[in-house]
Chain A
Amino acid sequence: MNWGTKYPREFTTRLKESVQKHLSIPHKFYCYTDNPVEDYDVPVKYPYLRGVWHKLALLENKGDSLFFDQDIEINSNIDFLCEDFDKFSVIDSTPWKPKNIPLLEFRMTQNTLVNSSVMRWSDHEHIFKKFMRHRDMYLRLYAGIDRYIYNEKVDYHAISTPKITSWYQKIEKTPIVLYNGKYK
């Protein structure tokens, strides 16, 4: 997904090449974007949505699917992700989340323990439909989709694996490194 001007095209190209190199399972690569230029680009379907909220619209697509944010680094084989497509899966972010956030502050700020830099699903359109039904309220309450997923009782599965890490953890060259929050 590449919406707006935050990530130059090079990010998309680099992600495509990385996936091609490190995912040996046959797949097709698409980029959901408001600026379609390549043959693998798919125009956004809901132009009034902004930024990360377009990621939720991807759940309308049925079939075994993986999603990657553009600010990730793929260093080695990621075939391990191609299982359990029957669940809607996101990443467990507890390994890099600060441990000392007071509970009231955590709940007041609608904080989250999941990260959607990588998502996996096959038939989970209902999650997007729920969001769209009361879109205005969710946009008001949540700063992003991770908070929406965590706080709105979405039936998600949190992938917990040492193969996916965040740059906050300062662990180099795991198969996937997330640079979540690095590019503002």
Chain B
Amino acid sequence: MIYDQNIINAYKNIEWIAKTHPGRLLDAFSCFSQNQFDCKMWLIDCLNQYPFHFKYKTRDSIDIAILGGWYGLMAKLISTEFGLKPINNIYSYDFDNIATKIGKKIFPEIEFIEKDVTEIDLGRKNFSIVINTSCEHIDQSLLYKSIDTAPTNTLFVLQSNNMNYVQQHINCVDSLQMFEKQYESRLHKVRAYELHKEKYTRYMLIGVKR
């Protein structure tokens, strides 16, 4: 390990969370875990290879929305690893006001917005890409509603999994085919992926809103 300014800054942030929101320290560690990192890097690797056109792809730079962004790991990794286009702005939405507050402290360059995923009108913003990595936490009708508010050609990146035993998971899928089937009427030019982990499988769809 190289002890450098990044590590010092990380410890400063941990200390700040421990002092101001001690009940969130373990939750933040979960957000920044190895597994979370792996799954989000996998997403970006696949997204960077997406071959089709999507909304505003010809513009100089694009806006990206992360739904259910938690403490901002997805947004941060996208900001440094996304390679298809230069990014104008990244918006990380979450209804959890403490998570957005902590996120702002750790990643000041990201725009954190305190809002419930189900209340975001995607038609009122100019997002080229909308990422939701927590479909298993959200009722299917609300996920559809969220996609339905977005303009045609918006690129959606969706993740779910088969971890039915987790109590927050109310909308798991059992297979990649099942996941694809849920969105075939709303997305096209879909690329579908699965990532086998030790205890579960994560599924991902990247597709353009019809």
Contact = CB atoms under 8 A, between A and B. Distances in A.
Contact of B18 (A104, A135, A139, A140): A104
Contacts of B96: 134, 137
Contacts of B170: 48
Contacts of A109: 26
Contact of A151 (B18, B23, B26): B23
Interface residues of A, number: 18
A150 to B, nearest CB: 11
Given A134-B95, A137-B95, A108 B168 contact: no
Nearest to B31: A140
Contacts, number: 32
Contact of A108 (B23, B95, B138, B167): B23
Grouping DSSP codes into helix (H, G, I), strand (E, B) and loop, the B interface class, with mixed when no group exceeds half, is helix
A50 B138 CA distance: 16
Chain B interface: which size bin?
10 to 19
Contacts of A51: 167
A174 interface: no
Nearest to A134: B95
Interface in B62-96: 95-96
Nearest to A51: B167
A140 B71 CA distance: 14
A49 B168 CA distance: 8
Contacts of B18: 104, 108
A141 B23 contact: yes
B40 interface: no
Interface string B92-135: 00011000000000000000000000000000000000000000
A108 B25 contact: yes
A108 B27 contact: no
Contact of B26 (A108, A134, A135): A108
A134 B117 CA distance: 11
Nearest to A49: B167
Interface string B4-37: 0000000000000010001111110000000000
Contacts of A122: none
Contacts of B137: 136
Nearest to B166: A139
Given A108-B25, A110-B23, A139 B95 contact: no
Given A136-B168, A141-B24, 16 more contacts: A48-B170, A51-B167, A104-B18, A108-B18, A108-B22, A108-B23, A108-B25, A108-B26, A134-B95, A134-B96, A135-B168, A139-B167, A140-B27, A141-B23, A141-B27, A151-B23
Cβ-closest 4 pairs across A and B: A107-B22, A50-B167, A139-B168, A110-B23
